Structure 1
Amino acid sequence: MSKAAAAIERLMELHPKGFDLSLDRILRLLERLGNPHLNLPPVIHIAGTNGKGSTSAFIRALLEASGLSVHVHTSPHLVNWHERYRLGAQGGGQYVSDDVLAEAVERVAVANNSEYITVFEIMAAVAFVLFSEHPADVVVLEVGLGGRFDATNVVPDPAVSVIMPIGIDHTAFLGDTIEAIAGEKAGIMKRSCPVVIGFQPSVAALDVLVDKAERLRCPVTVYGQNFIAFEEHGRMVFQDEEGLVDLPLPRLPGRHQLSNAAAAIEAVRMAGFDLTDKAIEKAMLVVEWPARMQRLTHGALVDLAPTGSEIWLDGGHNPAAGLVIAEAFAELEDRVPRPLYLITGMINTKDPKGFFEAFAGMARRVFTVPIGSSDASINNADLALAAEAAGIPAEPVHSVANALKLLRDASTNDEVPPRILIGGSLYLAGDVLDENGTPPV
């Protein structure tokens, strides 16, 4: 175990792992640390139910293609805690080193003096310490949960606040209506600071967001009204009030990535940074984001699958994510038909039937698996029942490796090799990347 992981493990024994939404504790802690959140480069703050991580990746790619150094905070991590903190550098940032992260964690823990606080709040404070003490041109700051009371929501004047698609999720914390959830996400908006509203599948959510931005007198741009992206002749066309930009399709697959890329371009512009067409084009070609429609081409788990299989990994875990992932697989099926199989694990705060319904009529079978890294894993037999209730034949198995071996043993030489989606949880995605020997770098 690394030094940083050991230090964080000690904190997790002392403090709650879950969420207790409030800003009082982290503001108290940050004051003891010298208020590092007030000593940051311009901040791009991102909330939303889905698409936050991909949009963060696009924004980083755009800024780095423009020659800028970018700090990035995302959560959760997939394999190692270090993934939550990318420190900016000319030519491209890197995950924080173990020594630097361990020292920052220990310093924050000492400042907290064992007082009640959640682990996420401590780790958010670590981000502010790291980002204030290492030079960079921009900070990309992803919300952990919600917005209004999220531990990242202490930056008083972000360069731009970005709200990505909102759906029903985390209802125990955010409310059980789309309007209530949108209101929580809108809490990252700050008076007179620019706001970019990405694609919103719900008109009710959009109305809440626009109303809040107008009440705060924020300059606001809205996907579908002030900017848009669409595919034309195998290219991506981005359009806003500055005109059209003809671009290659993003490296991240799926039609939903066009609207994520568009929000990222608009956010960088609204934050006051110049973007050349050349920089935007480069960003579309180099952007990467692990466990979001990630193609696995080699590794220990890949070797267990039927020869010639096409294996994809995606951490999407709610009904809205299921719809966009299923749409991406429908596009793949149109181009190169293959039988689709799902290997799925989920945690008990999610809606498994709603997730599976997106794949009804597409997936031939679901293999349901437990998630070893989460105490909240849904029992694989119960998860199989949810898949069958959604209309997909399902079989509970012990592991991803077990599922891949079953597919291999059942395959014949005259069959088209399968297309396999492993997903349903970022925890499962992290376990898969670790076991496969292909962690994020």
Structure 2
Amino acid sequence: MSEAIKLFIEDARAVSIEDGAKILGLKFKLRGVEHPQPCPHCGGSDTFAFNTRKEKWNCRAGGIGGNDSIGMAAHCEGLDVKSREGLLEACSIVLDRDIPDEGERESDEDRHARKKRLEERRVQNDAAFAERVASQDEFRERERQKARGIYQSLTALRTAAQMHGRSYLRYRCGGYPDATWLRVGADVTYWHGQDERGSPLALYSGPAMVAPFIMPDLVPIGCHITWIDLAEPPKFRPKLFGLTKDGIAAGLVEWAFGDASPLAIDLADGLYETLPSKKMRGSKKGGLIPIAGHPQCSRWVGGEGIENGVAFGVWEGFRADTFYFAAGDLGNLTGPAEPSSRFAHPTLKKPDAKGSARPVMVAGPVPKADQDADDAMWVADHVSELVLLADGDSERVMTAAAMARARARHSRPGRLIPIVWPREGYDFSSMAAEAVAGDL
């Protein structure tokens, strides 16, 4: 190898991932060091990424990655760096200059054939991606239709002949709203698992409270289902169990509602699992659960769960100027955090791979800069006061960071966003339930 070729390769190795990405025409986010995107060679939606701080690139679809611009250029352009010609062509791309005269080059015919193959692959990738997106959109809309069907088939909780929903909220929250958002059914099916033909199995059917996830047009995009069992205090929800893969391998039988609870040792060994008594159908991304009032109100009050929103509304008498809501979960309330805002928990630690205790890292209070509008629940522009309800029975530091992030996410000029905390170790519904128990 001549000195000119050696220098040519070393110059290419010195090109940073950032500079190489610019030459290749790859996409950069507005902020941050990680830049996910469709792979120029393999397609997909976010299968390819490069990191300008770690000086690395990776393609999950192709199962390949590296820490220099030469390999990144070779992958994007369909070159084989194991061959002399492929290596020098990749170096030429990132340096944006010709290969020295004594270096091996692709023939015009080989280059034309490679470019043609790459373009055909890109067209195929684009078509496959468009097909996947259309299929996902179709599936999402079918699920939304199912969720609307579940919700619209039921009757308003406040007027339904079934008392389960009103009793559940009285026990858990001290009362219920005089509103029609929440609905109730006496026989809502709980689907879990599949039969031999792949069809869903009905594990349980019983009373349930159902709430919609809505967008600004107030059309439901999903529904939140809470199954109710008034004979199971303090949560008043049925105990449901499912057989795990390990349980199937051990030859155990499926648990059926009405059976005794699985043995504690089988649960501990992961042969059975406790199933959630709350489920969501359809979509929740960017939506919220209405509880009482109307989104046209200028004052909004809500937090993560329905029960907390109801309990707080009962406490302040469901004010006529207020819209009460729930986000469904903390992530939908706050949105994602800016990675650079992560911080070490002041006390919590966990062992690393070598067994050394390391501080637990906490998602920070700063919202991610380039997130989409539906990465968190929507809040109408006219809202002048947004009261956020925190949970006092969750880990305090992590919850405080999340609530600060929610405040920053939903902040607007002139909008007040107080964060209200219950007593330490409680949430608002457990405080209300304790008060109800004391009155009995």
Same fold (TM over 0.5): no
Q: Identify, as 1 or 2, the structure richer in strand.
A: 2
The structure, 1 or 2, with the larger RCO (C-alpha pairs under 8 Å, 6+ apart) is 1
Larger Cα-atom Rg: 2
TM-score between the two structures when normalised by the length of structure 2: 0.25
TM-score between the two structures when normalised by the length of structure 1: 0.25
